[in-house]
Structure 1
Amino acid sequence: MTTLSRTRPNLRVRGRSFMAFVLSPDAPLRSWLAELDAQIERSATFFAGRPIVVDLSGIPDSDPDLETLFDELRSRGIRVIGAEGVDGLTPAVQSVGGPLIGGRPLGLYEVPDDPPDEPAAPEPTSMVLDEPVRSGQTILFPQGDLTINGSVASGAEIMAGGSIHVYGVLRGRAIAGVTGNQQARIFCKKLDAELISIDGLYMTAEDMDSFRGKSIQARLEGSSIIITEIS
């Protein structure tokens, strides 16, 4: 009689890289919501379609608007997917509901029986694209600096954990320091952007009119974005 021997299959799971913006409200919430409305009026589409995590560490449980906070954010078109900075499930946190969603697949993984002996190869700290970024494209590199050897079209979005360098016309949106890097900067050969952002602070097109068409760098200074022309 012939006996068949089968190896035990490895458990397979899928990895997922998740990217979300964090909103950190200040007390009292009613005043903070008014400031949020003013920002949305200046850039109505900034939060459109973005997954948002709300950091509630600065809000006391006694704030009367806490339980309706997520409803208020959703009514403004802000897609809240979770909360952090709280102990226990308050009614406000319970109102989020559902699992974390969004992100991008990283491929298929096999879980081995034993941990690997060799250390994982270090991840790259910079990314260079030798082609332009087309309208509707989103480029995300949270590990470090992002360099575009070309132009960024209107309607495109480029995001980096470090600095952004664009050796062409920067239209669309450029968001640097997305992982909390206050030293990140934005450089471009010709500025024509819809929006730039560094570590959560941002400027819209009307704020940059005097630098339109110029070669610039943008950096943080305190709680402001400073743009200087590069001669």
Structure 2
Amino acid sequence: MNAVSRSGPSIRFRGRSFMAMTLVADVPLQQWLADFDIWLERSPGFFTGRTVVLDMVGTAASKAEVERWIGELATRGVRLIGLEGIRPSMVDASMPPLLRGGRDATLIIPDEPVAVPEAPRKSAEPAEPVNMVIEQRVRSGQSIVCLEGDVTIVGSVGAGAEIIAGGSIHVYGALAGRAIAGATFGAKARIFCTKMEAELIAVDGIYRTAEDIDASLRGRPVRVWTEDDALRLAAL
């Protein structure tokens, strides 16, 4: 019998990078969850459709504790794509994978714990803001992130694009994507744009979607800020 050669579709692999939001766990668990629930009440749906990694450095001593963290977040609508900061023995095939190699990952934890002096935690707020200026259009699907300070866009922000700033966001053009300000500096942050067309705007975790933005502000220069735990918008 002659051998038959079959040609079919080849299996293709590509290396790609995807941006994920890292959620930093803290102890005690119940207090962290209580604070997280308050934040979610102010920003419901914020994690919908987002890729999230849980940083668990110093928060879990056993596999059971890791499972509890994953379960508590799952009940709150947070689906994890990966874990950081725990020993490999704490993870099994039913859990999100253990990730290493992210830009902020400077510690590799061995399977067996090693006694090391505990370093004091650094303040989450930088001493001096570091501002980012983008002198071009931000296109659909692009994400601009600067957690150390303000972001200024000299151009428009297309639908499907996302800007995340630790401080304020300034858009000298149409803002048609998502603008999330105050990720580090909180309520001190502001959003300014010369043409409001946003899909979502948020300051200090308080947000509005396009449906909740007053139609009279559409297409106009607008500033956004927080006051009395509410998001405020006004024409410029």
Normalised TM-score (structure 2): 0.58
Residue from 133, 141, 166 that aligns with 1:128 = 133
Letter in 1 for 2:225: R
**Over 4 Å off, 4+ runs:** 21-24, 80-84, 99-105
> SS at 2:212's partner residue?
helix
Summarize the alignment of residues 54-73 of structure 1 with structure 2, pairs less than 5 Å apart. 70-71=70-71, 73=73
Deviations 1:130-188 (A, max 9, x none): 10001110111112111101000011001111110001110111111111432000000
Quick one: higher RCO (CA 8 Å, sep 6+), 1 or 2?
1
CA contact (8 A) 1:172 1:194 kept: yes
CA distance in 2 between counterparts of 1:52 and 1:171 reads 30
Question: 1:48 — aligned with what?
Answer: 50
CA distance in 2 between counterparts of 1:103 and 1:209 reads 39
The alpha carbon displacement at 1:20 in A equals: 2.6
The alpha carbon displacement at 1:202 in A equals: 1.4
Deviations 1:3-49 (A, max 9, x none): xxxxxxxxxxxxxxx9634695328x9xx59x76x933xx6x74521
Q: 1:101 to 1:202 in 2, by over 3 A?
A: farther
Normalised TM-score (structure 1): 0.59
- Asked if 1:25 is matched to 2:27, the reply is no
- Asked if 1:151 is matched to 2:156, the reply is yes
Percent of pairs identical after alignment?
A: 39
Question: 1:79 — aligned with what?
Answer: 80
> SS at 1:179's partner residue?
coil
CA contact (8 A) 2:129 2:150 kept: no
Judge which range, 162-171 or 45-54, deviates more.
Answer: 45-54
The number of residues matched between the two structures is 174
Which stretches in structure 2 are left out of the alignment for 5+ residues?
1-19, 26-31, 60-66, 86-94, 106-126
> SS at 2:184's partner residue?
coil
Letter in 2 for 1:214: R
- RMSD, aligned α-carbons: 4.2
Which stretches in structure 1 are left out of the alignment for 5+ residues?
1-17, 58-66, 85-94, 106-121
CA distance in 1 between counterparts of 2:147 and 2:161 reads 17
Letter in 2 for 1:26: A
Question: 1:168 — aligned with what?
Answer: 173
Higher strand share goes to which structure?
A: 1
